[in-house]
Amino acid sequence: MLAISNLEVVYEDVILVLKGVSLSVPEGSIVALLGANGAGKTTVLRAITGLLGVHRGNITKGTITLDGEEIHHLDAPATVATGIGQVMEGRRIFTEFTVDENLRIGAHTADRGSVDGNLDRVYSTFPAIAGRRTQVAGYLSGGEQQMLAIGRALMAEPRVLLLDEPSLGLAPLIVQQIRDLIVEINQQGTSVLLVEQNANMALSIASHGYILETGKVVMDKPAAELREDEDVREFYLGLREEGAGSFRDVKHYKRRKRWLS
């Protein structure tokens, strides 16, 4: 189980970004972390994976543990070795590498003997990229690049997979594909912490959800309850109750017919 308790993170020694965040990802579950831009979602992931240093951030309080072992003082390579895999926001594949090389670099910390087996496993999970092994990764489509990024993280056989906005910039149909793949990966025994803006997608597969606002967890409920919550429906799912009035009534300017000429 990955557990974060009372985490405080400061950037540049002055900017307090996380103000006592606690959350946990139980073994074998999918947990969603939702929030608006700038809420601190990505910072939570950086704190877990030891990448805060790159961005001049520091953990000033709190602990992060994986199965009871403290991991917040480890650097990035050591964190990867403990079994935490990460798919970064915006995919961040190596565009000049081939698909094969991108996956192999993901296995950097893994056993050398396991690399070929894992390659086969990833290619069978993502048949879309299997046919493009020797192609330069930068020319893949957005969805394929996202699959490549997830596949790269799987190469190290992580126990916990951190996904940062895997739906970013993808068409709805591709988002569904990615969602199904996340479920499939989870069923193969990897716990998933899913950071998303697309609350609809995240809550449809997660068992538990956290909502982060300006560095604090403001709501923490099973995903099914979050889906029914009125505020969540309005602000994160974009749904409004019947009779709450429509935006048309609020508009103060005149609707005008416009003609195409």
- Binding residues for other proteins, how many (CB under 8 A)? 27
**Helix, strand or coil for residue 25?**
strand
* Contacts (CB under 8 A) with other proteins, residues 49-68: 49-51, 54
* CB of residue 114 to other proteins, shortest distance in Å: 13
Nearer to other proteins, 155 or 206 (CB): 155
45, HSE (Cβ side, Cα atoms, 13 Å):
22
Q: Which two tokens stand for residue 130?
A: 């299997």
> What is the smallest separation between the CB atom of 159 and other proteins, expressed in angstroms?
14
- Binding piece for other proteins, criterion CB under 8 A, among 10-18, 33-41, 47-55, 231-239: 47-55
Q: Are 125 and 154 in contact (CB under 8 A)?
A: yes
3-state secondary structure (DSSP) of residue 137: helix
Asked if 41 is part of the footprint of other proteins (rule: CB under 8 A), the reply reads no
Q: How many Å apart are CA 1 and CA 238, to the nearest integer?
A: 32
- For other proteins, give the closer residue by CB, 51 or 201: 51
Residue nearer to other proteins on the CB measure, 11 or 97? 97
Among the residue ranges 33-41, 85-93, 217-225, 236-244, the one whose residues contact other proteins (CB under 8 A): 85-93
Number of CB atoms found within 10 A of residue 134's CB: 9
Residue 239 touching other proteins (CB under 8 A): no
Written as six digits, the tokens of 39 are 């809420």
Q: How far is the CB of 148 from other proteins (least distance, A)?
A: 12
Q: Which stretch binds other proteins (CB under 8 A): 25-33, 46-54, 122-130, 181-189?
A: 46-54
Q: Does 11 bind other proteins (CB under 8 A)?
A: no
Q: Of residues 124-163, which lie at the interface with other proteins (CB under 8 A)?
A: 136, 138-139, 152, 156
Query: CB of residue 219 vs other proteins: minimum separation in angstroms?
Result: 29
> To the nearest whole angstrom, how small is the minimum distance from the Cβ of residue 154 to other proteins?
12
138-169 burial string, b = 16+ CB within 10 Å, else e? eebeebbbbbbbbbbbbbbbbbbbbbbbbbee
Nearer to other proteins, 99 or 211 (CB): 99
Q: Which residue has the tokens 């409920």?
A: 221
- What is the 3-class SS of 199-258, one letter each residue? HHHHHHHCCEEEEEECCEEEEEEEHHHHHHCHHHHHHCCCCCCCCCCCHHHHCCCCCCCC
Binding site for other proteins (CB under 8 A): 49-51, 54, 76-77, 80-81, 86, 88, 92, 94-97, 101, 104-106, 108-109, 112, 136, 138-139, 152, 156
